[in-house]
A and B are shown apart, each in its own frame.
Chain A
């Protein structure tokens, strides 16, 4: 049995740990609120751009834009959104595992796919496994601006336009609620599901014409989808970290309780033993 002093030290260090996890929980909670606000302020932009793109795509049937047409897939691009730091529970591992599994199932050699990664954790994961990372962005802010991700997004879309990749899938954690985030994979390019969107019914004049507008608009649309996924991912990250820290604090509470119990027990045992010894001593004298 551990000595009284050992147990005492353990209790103290667990208490300190709990203070830290508690603080991190609160920090993540406030960051999560901000991230949620960011998602909301992005909504008007994404809804509008989707509406316009959908109405153009629907009103003109014979558009020949490479971003809308599927082609034979020789090389697939995977864009994965992870965090820069750990301590976020299963946030990173679940999305990375899912992507890794998909790649293993679909591809036999590293020539068939490329990975584009946001976040240090994902970058190191794939680098360690010698998988081809073509682009990466590390050290993203907790509340990223569009400008922070713009370069990565536009280069990725450019890769598709230049036919360096023939489709683009995105993997990230979708934010459902504080306690629930879901790993989501979406096919981003080619843009295939445009016809489904709701259309306001208004017919537009196009200046100069539809095809040229689509040429400008579609890359912007794809970039906005990437940014939207990033914001969603960031909100999930903070939520995941908050939940992880909360359960760590709860766990610490439990450990402190257990340790205090055994501390008291040990103390009581020591006292009992002392009394027995004294009584034994007295009895021997008589």
Chain B
């Protein structure tokens, strides 16, 4: 089966570079599945899990603040953070989650509210992937 090269890059360095048969991820406009030979595409990603499939194997990554660049044989995911399940610090994510929840409940001004919401999303996403 045909494969495409996937590389995941963050400001702290490359996270992963390998061949996969399919990439599926959640863009701002909805779920996207990329197979080899896809037309060139750019789409921003939500804070979500990216699934990389190879036969029956599949890998999951938690990404936030990223976007996806697709070329026929290559997919590049640029994200401000991208973590494999083994990189995720569960304790920290749990702490971040409870902190964000507290903040959301104490209803402060809009900016803090938005920020807490984003933090909560990131934490839940991480826990989801480890989960």
Contacts and interface: CB of A to CB of B under 8 A. Distances in A.
Interface in A209-239: 212-213, 216-217, 220, 223-224, 227
A33 to B, nearest CB: 15
Majority secondary structure, B binding face: strand
B71 A202 contact: yes
Interface in B16-75: 27-29, 32, 39-44, 65, 67, 69, 71
A44 B41 contact: no
Given A44-B9, A202-B71, A220-B65, A146 B43 contact: no
Interface residues of B, number: 24
A207 B43 contact: yes
Given A48-B69, A213-B67, A207 B41 contact: yes
B28 A216 contact: yes
B109 interface: no
A48 B76 contact: yes
Contacts of A56: 42
Contacts of B71: 202
B9 A45 contact: yes
A205 B80 contact: no
A224 B29 contact: no
A42 interface: yes
A12 B9 CA distance: 53
A145 B13 CA distance: 10
11 contacts: A38-B13, A45-B11, A46-B11, A146-B11, A146-B81, A204-B69, A205-B40, A205-B41, A207-B27, A207-B41, A213-B67
Interface of B: 9-14, 27-29, 32, 39-44, 65, 67, 69, 71, 76, 78, 80-81
